[in-house]
């Protein structure tokens, strides 16, 4: 190696470390700031009392309930539709069929739709055309559309990873395709489904823009799925932007949101490991 190339390599090394330090530094800056301000606000009563004074004081219990309900509607619709679509794509039609190509293409496009556009669509279609108004139902259904592409892609990968022997062996015993799918392929695809669920729930929990015009702002404890309910991300946004003096509770809520995301991720990796471990016994 000549001297100029040694020098260039040294410059590149330096540059790499600088960027890495900057990114890492910013990360810890954000983390330190959020935890530093937010952690002290979290307590059992914060989680279990309702927001008061537009959220400045009180807790986030109704927000957590609305968030769970929205997630429940979202998953209740997205899981059957997503797993069904994945099964259709991977087990029912030939891999390179025209129908399959079109469905995959439209899912690719769906994955790229900005969340505010989902919000527009959800407000009009679920809110007005179907008449659900500003409600948990509208919000959950809108989110279901958003997470479908991720869920389908991961589940389809799970089905494809199931070995061909299962299909042949099942067919050779005269099992119906429904039985093969339910008892043999679905368990084999379960880790794909879990991965898709984690990614989907992560996206749904983090989503704000699509929910503002669908599930709305109301902080009251919802009494039915047709009530408006404020999700945790919307709560952070509203406290930060529209409520002077809402900062402390916004910090605490942001920390709760991040803890929830971490919890879901660890649950999923634990589940995947346990199941995969169970399957790969000697």
Partner 1 sequence: MSPSRGDRWLAGALGLAAALAGGAIVLILAFLVIEAWPALRQVGLSRFLGDSGWLPAAGPDGNFNLVPMLAGTVAVTAGAMLLAVPAGVISAIFCRYYAPLGVSHIYRRLIEVLAGIPSVVYGFWGLVVLVPWITRFRPPGQSLLAGALILALMVLPTVALLAESALRSLPRSYFEGAAALGLGRFTTVRSLALPAAAPGIGAGCVLATARALGETMAVLMVCGNVVQVPTSFFDPIRTLTANIALEMAYATQFHRSALFVSGLALMGLVGLLISAVERLSPKPAYE
Partner 2 sequence: MSASPRETLDSPQKLQDACISTEGLSVSYAKSYALRDLHLEIPRGSITALVGPSGCGKSSFLKTLNRLTDLITGCRVTGSVRLDGEDIYQSGFDVLSLRRRVGMIFQKPNPFPLSIRRNLTLPLEEHGTQDSAALAAKTEAALRDVGLWDEVKDRLDSSAMILSGGQQQRLCIARALALGPEVVLLDEPCSALDPLSSAVVEDLIASLRESYTVIIVTHNLSQARRIADQTALFWLENGAGTLIETAPTEQFFSQPQHRLTKEYVSGARG
In angstroms and rounded to an integer, the radius of gyration of the C-alpha atoms of the chain is: 23
Evaluated on CA atoms 267, 261, 201, 90, the torsion sign reads negative
- Taken as a whole, the chain contains a residue count of 282
Q: Tell which one of 42, 186, 206, 218 touches partner 1 (CB under 8 A).
A: 206
Nearer to partner 1, 75 or 254 (CB): 254
Regarding 76 and contact with partner 1 (CB under 8 A), the answer is no
How far apart are the C-alpha atoms of 175 and 185, rounded to whole Å? 13
Strand partners, 52: 57
Element housing 51 (H / E): strand 51-52
Nearer to partner 2, 1 or 173 (CB): 173
Site track 169-198 with partner 1 (rule: CB under 8 A), x = hit:
-------xxx--x-----------------
| Residue 197 beta carbon to partner 2: minimum distance, rounded to whole angstroms | 21
Regarding 84 and contact with partner 1 (CB under 8 A), the answer is yes
Nearer to partner 1, 69 or 77 (CB): 77
Regarding 46 and contact with partner 1 (CB under 8 A), the answer is no
Q: Tell which one of 3, 5, 44, 94 touches partner 2 (CB under 8 A).
A: 94
Output the DSSP codes for 130-144.
Answer: S---SSHHHHHHHHH
CA 116, distance to chain mean position in Å, is 16
Interacting residue ranges for partner 2, rule: CB under 8 A? 94, 165-176, 179, 183-184, 187-188, 278-279, 281-282
């Amino acid at each position: 190696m000549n001297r100029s190339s040694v020098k260039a390599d040294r410059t590149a090394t330096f540059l790499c470390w600088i960027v890495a330090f900057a990114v890492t530094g910013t990360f810890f800056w954000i983390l330190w700031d959020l935890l530093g301000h937010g952690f002290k606000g979290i307590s059992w009563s914060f989680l279990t009392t309702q927001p008061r004074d537009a959220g400045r004081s009180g807790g986030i219990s109704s927000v957590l309930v609305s968030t769970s309900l929205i997630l429940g509607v979202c998953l209740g619709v997205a899981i059957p539709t997503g797993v069904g679509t994945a099964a259709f794509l991977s087990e029912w039609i030939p891999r390179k069929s025209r129908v399959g190509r079109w469905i995959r293409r439209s899912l690719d496009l769906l994955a790229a739709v900005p969340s505010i556009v989902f919000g527009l669509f959800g407000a009009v279609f679920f809110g007005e055309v179907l008449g659900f108004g500003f409600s948990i139902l509208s919000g959950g259904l809108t989110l279901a559309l958003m997470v479908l592409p991720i869920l389908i892609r991961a589940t389809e990968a799970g089905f494809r990873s199931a070995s061909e022997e299962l299909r042949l062996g099942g067919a050779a015993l005269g099992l119906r395709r429904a039985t093969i799918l339910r008892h043999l392929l679905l368990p084999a695809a379960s880790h794909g489904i879990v991965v898709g669920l984690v990614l989907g729930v992560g996206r749904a929990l983090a989503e704000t823009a699509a929910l503002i015009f669908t599930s709305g702002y109301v902080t009251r404890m919802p009494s039915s799925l047709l009530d408006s309910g404020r999700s945790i991300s919307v709560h952070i946004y509203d406290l930060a932007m529209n409520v002077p003096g809402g900062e402390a509770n916004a910090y605490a809520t942001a920390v709760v949101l991040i803890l929830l995301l971490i919890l879901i991720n660890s649950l999923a990796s634990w589940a995947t490991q346990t199941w995969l471990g169970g399957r790969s016994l000697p």
